Amino acid sequence: MIEPFLEECLSVLTRTPAALDVLLRDLPEVWTTATEGPGTWSPYVIIGHLIHAEQADWMPRLTIILEHGPNRPFEPFNREAQFVQSKGKTLPALLDEFADLRRDNVARLLALNLTAEQLERNGMHPALGLVTARQLVATWTAHDLGHTLQISRVMAKRYRSEVGPWAEYLSVMK
């Protein structure tokens, strides 16, 4: 029996790599390298960010909560790591890497067999202060959806001028 909230999160967490794979693999580079302007992220950059979060954010922080509680603050997360880590890698290679890491992390999360009580345990975020394991897993899930949203938005906005008068009806263009 998986804890019900965890099961709900896992139903999304297990789907994200395949959804982004279908959306992005072998898509022309004009789409996958598009950004919303200087300093903003392309779909390619976003997949690299999701990879680094699998490596350095979610499961490492959950482990700290379970093993040390709030006495040991999390390591700060580097939001720019992908600009170095993704260097020389193709998008299909990054999609594979993300899928592999997510599969491993989901297996590790399941193996913990967390109870509702364990999900209420506290950790210490270096900037945000006290958080719970449950909030961490919820954030992992919402973070997936937020970046799926971002990828769709970056791509849609490429066509801001192409859609002509229809821009008025497309809230993404506003």
* Residue ranges binding its own copies (CB under 8 A): 7-8, 11-12, 15, 18-19, 22-23, 27-28, 30-31, 125, 128-132, 134-136, 138-139, 141-143, 145-146, 148-149, 152-153, 155-156, 159, 162-166, 168-173
Is 38 or 164 the residue whose CB approaches its own copies more closely? 164
Is 81 or 138 the residue whose CB approaches its own copies more closely? 138
How many helices and strands (H and E) does the chain possess? 9, 2
Q: Is 121 in contact with 31 (CB distance < 8 Å)?
A: no
Min dist. Cβ of residue 146 to its own copies (A): 4
Task: Decide: residue 70, CB within 10 A, 0-12 exposed, 13-18 middle, 19+ buried.
Answer: middle
Is 81 or 163 the residue whose CB approaches its own copies more closely? 163
CB neighbours of residue 46 within 10 Å: 21
Min dist. Cβ of residue 4 to its own copies (A): 10
Spatial separation of the C-alpha atoms in residues 115 and 94, rounded to whole Å: 33
Question: Can you read off the two tokens belonging to residue 117?
Answer: 């009580």
Is 64 or 88 the residue whose CB approaches its own copies more closely? 64
Min dist. Cβ of residue 121 to its own copies (A): 13
User: 124-145 burial, b for 16+ CB within 10 Å, e for fewer?
Assistant: bbeeeeebbbbbbbebbbebbe
Min dist. Cβ of residue 137 to its own copies (A): 9
User: Which of these, 101, 128, 115, lies nearest to 13 by C-alpha position?
Assistant: 101
Min dist. Cβ of residue 141 to its own copies (A): 6
Is 78 or 135 the residue whose CB approaches its own copies more closely? 135
